[in-house]
Structure 1
Amino acid sequence: MKNILTEKFSKRLLIAGVVLLLIGFIMFVWNDWSFSADEKLKADKVAQFGDFVGGLIGSIWALAGVILFYVALTEQRKDFATNREVLNAQTDALKQQIKEFELQREELSETRKVFKIQSETLKKQQFESTFFNLVNLHHGIVNSIDLRSKENKYGVIEAVKMNLERGKMNEKIIEVTTGRDCFVKFCKGFRNEYRKLRRDITELSDLEIAKQAYKNYYKLHQSDLGHYFRNLYHIFKFIKNSEEKDKKRYTSLVRAQLSNDELFLLFYNGISEYGSKKFLPLIEEFHILKNLNLKDFIEKNKHSKFYKKSAYGE
């Protein structure tokens, strides 16, 4: 059956039909046709020949056409099947590529996460390295401060800068104070200056007297206090300008390094002309005065109103 329903067999039928057509034509017209222009056609012979062609040869050719049509359909079906297989293969390949792309995207996403973590870790390490260097520098500045107490000609003991004592051997040095202990004497000296102005000046407000008293006392110890507060300001400014999310964690660490005497002087430095523009906003933002004991001197003179409540951690 497979050998019959083929294009080759159909061609053979066509050739056989042509051969039979020729044979039939010869058989029907060989003896009866004179090929003369004046002779009439024999209708019965022509009809028989037509029946022969239509009945036998036409059937053979029709069969050949059916076989060719079947062959064409079969080949078309095979082509469709082949195309479907190719499309399925292409679809599978695309699906595989999509999976690979998804895997690559996930890998890139993980890589970005790793790079982001590494970048954040590096930034944090750089920030903390600079931060702790500034804190160590702050401790170095504090430790470098020194004061000498002397007895003047009236028998009064007062604190002076060590570098001012050079060449004054006629004055008796009875005590040397260094480091954080100097702030105890700074605070005492400022209180005395404030009380003196408060007693002598009555037309100024409490804030103006406090500013003037701090300015007067600051000039006496500008080399130490100026260096100290500038560095302290830059530590808090560095934290504020950084990309660190938990800024208050680091400001709390710095605040924990400050003694009550340091906070006391910081209080008046913040309202003075030396710190009111830049340092005071940081003091209020980061609650730097949270650990300051207000009961001594400040609350008594009602100076706590010079700052917003946020400066005290409220």
Structure 2
Amino acid sequence: MMSKDLEATKPQLSVGIVKVFAAALIAAGIAALAYMLYFSLYVGRRISTEPDAWGQFGDYFGGVMNPIIALAALGLLAVGVRIQNDTLREAKKQLNLQRAELEQTRAVLSKQSEQLQLQAEAAQREVFEATFFRLMEALRRLTESFEATSRSRGIGAMFEWAVQLRDHAHGQLRSRQLAPDGAASVLASWYPTHRPKLSSYFALVLMTLEFIEKNNRSDAIFYTDILRATFSPGELFLLFHYGVGESGNHRFKALAEKYGLLEAFDPEDFDLPGERRLWYSARRISRDYTAKLATLSAAEEREVGG
């Protein structure tokens, strides 16, 4: 755009030069004509053939033309300066317009980038939640398929197994002097007969925790709380002992501690010492739903805007 403006100033400059030189030529012609008329009409002399006379005429003509040419050059300079100022003013105006357009473009691109980022996050969240709730559904169906006796199924079966584990080995789990490794030994002696049923359950719970952990979401605690809310007392009892001791599942215990998965477990509900809950460290991340609520709010706004 600026190059077009500069091209547009070339005709103006050419016209200015032509005008200045035309005025100079006219002035020169008038001066020469006045000289000739003066000597021809008033003095009564004809055109001389003497070189001296023509030298005097040249001096006269130069004396008249020099100021005219100087004035013409000054006028030409003034025209050039004016045209240059106009060009610079127009260029500055165009630069300001381009700057404004760039700012508008930058704002539009920034908004589009934010929208694309929100859409990408929404898509990732949808994929994550679809997988998470499929895992939850698989865990629910697996739990419902358990049968301890003809009368205890599902979470009832889990509760009955928890009581069997508590009373196994003459009820050693009730002892206040029992250490985590002792509890792990009790579980190891009881678990083989229930491995075909409970191994898939423990593996699925751990898989769900690993899935949440690997996605590294800011609202991970929200989903682990959903998982924790589905556990019955019998499940909490079995999961609690699944991670204790040197022979326990250390990865499960680390994730359970991080997300406070077993916070709802109360040993005293199963007639165990209350201090047994100290076998698991306190939750290591904050239960803050601010990020999750902000995400849900943004999703609702997009749905309304769409």
Deviations 1:183-237 (A, max 9, x none): 12101211121425679xxxx9633321111012111110111111110111111
User: Structure 1 residues 208 and 235, CA, compared in 2 at 3 Å: closer, same or farther?
Assistant: same
| Structure-1 separation of matches of 2:173 and 2:227 | 33
Choose the corresponding residue for 2:50, options 12, 26, 34: 26
- Give distance in 2, aligned partners of 1:121 and 1:246: 13
Counterpart position of 2:214: 241
How far residue 57 of structure 1 moved from its aligned partner, in angstroms, is: 5.8
State whether residues 260 and 292 of structure 1, in contact with CA within 8 Å, keep that contact through their aligned partners in structure 2. yes
Larger CA deviation: 131-140 vs 238-247: 238-247
* Letter of the structure 2 residue corresponding to residue 96 of structure 1: L
- Return the offset for 1:14: 7.0
Counterpart contact for 1:211–1:273, Cα < 8 Å: yes
In 2, distance between residues paired with 1:184 and 1:131? 25
2:8 maps to 1:11: no
Residue 65 of structure 1 is matched in structure 2 by 66
Q: Is residue 2:164 matched to residue 1:189? A: yes
Mapped to 1, the partners of 2:24 and 2:173 lie a distance apart of 126
What is residue 155 of structure 1 aligned with on the other side?
none
Q: Specify the alignment match of 2:98 in structure 1.
A: 97
Higher strand share: 1
Matches of 1:14 and 1:280, distance apart in 2: 112
Assess, with a 3 A threshold, how the Cα gap between structure 1 residues 27 and 107 changes in structure 2: closer, same or farther. closer
Please give the residue correspondences for 1:294-313 in structure 2 after superposition, counting only pairs within 5 Å: 294-297=267-270, 299-300=272-273, 302-310=275-283
3-state DSSP of counterpart to 1:147? coil
**8 Å CA contact retained: 1:240, 1:247:** yes
- Runs of 4+ residues deviating >4 angstroms: 13-20, 22-25, 196-199, 272-275
Match of 2:148, SS state, is: strand
Contact 1:144-1:179 at 8 Å conserved across structures:
yes
Q: Which residue of 2 aligns with 1:113?
A: 114
Report Cα offsets for 1:223-263 as digits up to 9, x if no partner. 11111111011111111111321111111111010011110
Contact 1:145 1:182 in 2 (8 A): yes
Residue 182 and residue 114 in structure 1: after superposition, are their counterparts in 2 closer, same or farther (change >3 A)?
same
Structure with bigger gyration radius: 1
1:78-126 per-residue CA deviation (whole Å, 9 max, x = no partner) reads 1221122122222222221121111111111111011001011111111
* TM-score, structure 1 normalization: 0.71
- Which whole-Å CA distance do the structure 1 matches of 2:180 and 2:264 have between them? 22
**3-state DSSP class of the match of 1:310?**
coil
SS, match of residue 289 in structure 1: coil
1:305 Cα offset (Å): 3.6
Which region of structure 1 is more displaced relative to structure 2, 257-266 or 295-304? 295-304
Alignment match, 1:43: none
2:185 to 191, 212, 228: 212
Distance 1:198-1:101 versus aligned 2 partners, 3 A rule: closer
- Aligned partners of 2:94 and 2:29: how far apart in 1? 45
Gaps of at least 5 residues in structure 2 are 1-18, 40-45, 288-306
Deviations 1:35-64 (A, max 9, x none): xxxxxxxxxxxxxx79x93xx764542221
Same amino acid, percent of matched pairs: 21
Question: Does structure 1 residue 290 correspond to structure 2 residue 291?
Answer: no
| More off after superposition, 253-262 vs 11-20 | 11-20
> Is the contact made by 1:142 and 1:228 (CA closer than 8 Å) also made in structure 2?
yes
**Residue 190 to residue 240, structure 1, CA distance change in 2 (3 Å):** same
- Which residue in 1 is equivalent to 2:146? 145
Q: Output the TM-score relative to the length of structure 2.
A: 0.73
Greater percentage in helix = 2
**1:177 equivalent in structure 2:** 152
Residue type of the alignment partner of 1:249 = F
Query: Structure 1: how far apart are the matches of 2:145 and 2:276?
Result: 31
Q: 1:267 matched to which residue of 2? A: 240
Which stretch of the first structure deviates more once superposed, 292-301 or 110-119? 292-301
Structure 1 partner of 2:132? 131
Quick one: distance in 1 between partners of 2:105 and 2:147? 65
Answer yes or no: is the 8 Å Cα contact 1:214–1:272 preserved in 2.
no
**Contact 1:146 1:182 (C-alpha < 8 Å) held by counterparts:** yes
- In the alignment, structure 1 segments of 5+ residues that lack a partner are 29-48, 149-174
Structure-2 separation of matches of 1:302 and 1:243: 32
Q: Secondary structure at the match of 1:89?
A: helix
The one-letter amino acid of 1:11's match is A
